[in-house]
């Protein structure tokens, strides 16, 4: 606040008393209404798979952003593909005999590690403002945007 000014230089309100203006300027955030940056929103699309993907598709400032929509759709489609693969592998684990069950369980564990690393990689790419397309899923996501 500038001493003797009729209006506050930061918010433009009339200067009734110096105490009231100082209190109101401290309570108002500097970036109100801007939301998350688009790279952070793209990063968060992958955080909980299809759940956060759907959230960012319906939340108002992000549902119109091409970058965030692409990552949200890619996270949703990747989650659906992982669910389908694990469902099929789960069926095979139930019907396989004991010695093959151990090998299939080991392969399923390796697949889970690979999916986790892929998820981290996609989060890293989104954080760096890159639209990294997965071979089939990325093309489907790009068509939805």
41-76 pLDDT, tens digit each: 999 999 988 899 999 999 988 888 899 999 999 999
| Same structural domain, 42 and 96 | yes
Q: Are residues 9 and 62 in the same domain?
A: no
- The residue ranking higher by pLDDT, 121 or 97, is 121
113 shares a domain with 45: yes
The residue-averaged pLDDT of 127-142 equals 92
pTM over 0.75: no
The domain total for the chain is 2
For residues 126 and 101, membership in a common domain is answered with yes
Rounded to whole angstroms, how far apart are CA atoms 74 and 80?
Answer: 10
CA distance 94 to 105: 11
Q: Return d(Cα 81, Cα 29) in angstroms, integer.
A: 41
pLDDT band at residue 137, thresholds of 50, 70 and 90? very high
User: Cα 88 to the chain's mean position, in Å?
Assistant: 27
Domain that holds residue 81: 36-144
Same domain, 18 and 42: no
Asked if residue 65 and residue 2 are part of one domain, the reply reads no
Over residues 74-108, the pLDDT tens digits come to 999 999 999 999 998 888 888 887 778 788 888 88
Same domain, yes or no: 43 and 28: no
Q: Does 81 lie in the same domain as 23?
A: no
- Same domain (yes/no): 64, 130: yes
Q: Are both 10 and 44 inside the same structural domain?
A: no
- Stated length of the chain: 145
Same domain, 23 and 40: no
**Cα(52)–Cα(100) distance, rounded to whole angstroms?**
36
Q: Are residues 26 and 78 in the same domain?
A: no
């Amino acid at each position: 606040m500038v001493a003797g000014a009729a209006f506050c230089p930061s918010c433009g309100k009339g200067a009734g008393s110096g105490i009231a203006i100082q209190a109101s300027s401290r309570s108002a955030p500097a970036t109100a209404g801007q939301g998350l940056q688009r790279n952070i929103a793209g990063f968060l699309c992958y955080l909980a798979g299809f759940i956060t993907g759907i959230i960012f598709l319906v939340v108002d400032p992000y549902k119109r952003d091409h970058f965030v929509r692409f990552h949200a759709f890619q996270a949703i489609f990747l989650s659906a593909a992982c669910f389908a693969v694990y469902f099929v592998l789960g069926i095979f684990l139930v019907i396989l005999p004991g010695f093959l069950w151990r090998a299939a369980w080991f392969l399923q564990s390796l697949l889970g590690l690979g999916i986790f690393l892929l998820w981290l990689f996609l989060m890293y790419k989104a954080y760096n403002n890159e639209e990294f397309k997965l071979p089939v899923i990325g093309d489907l996501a790009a068509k939805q945007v």
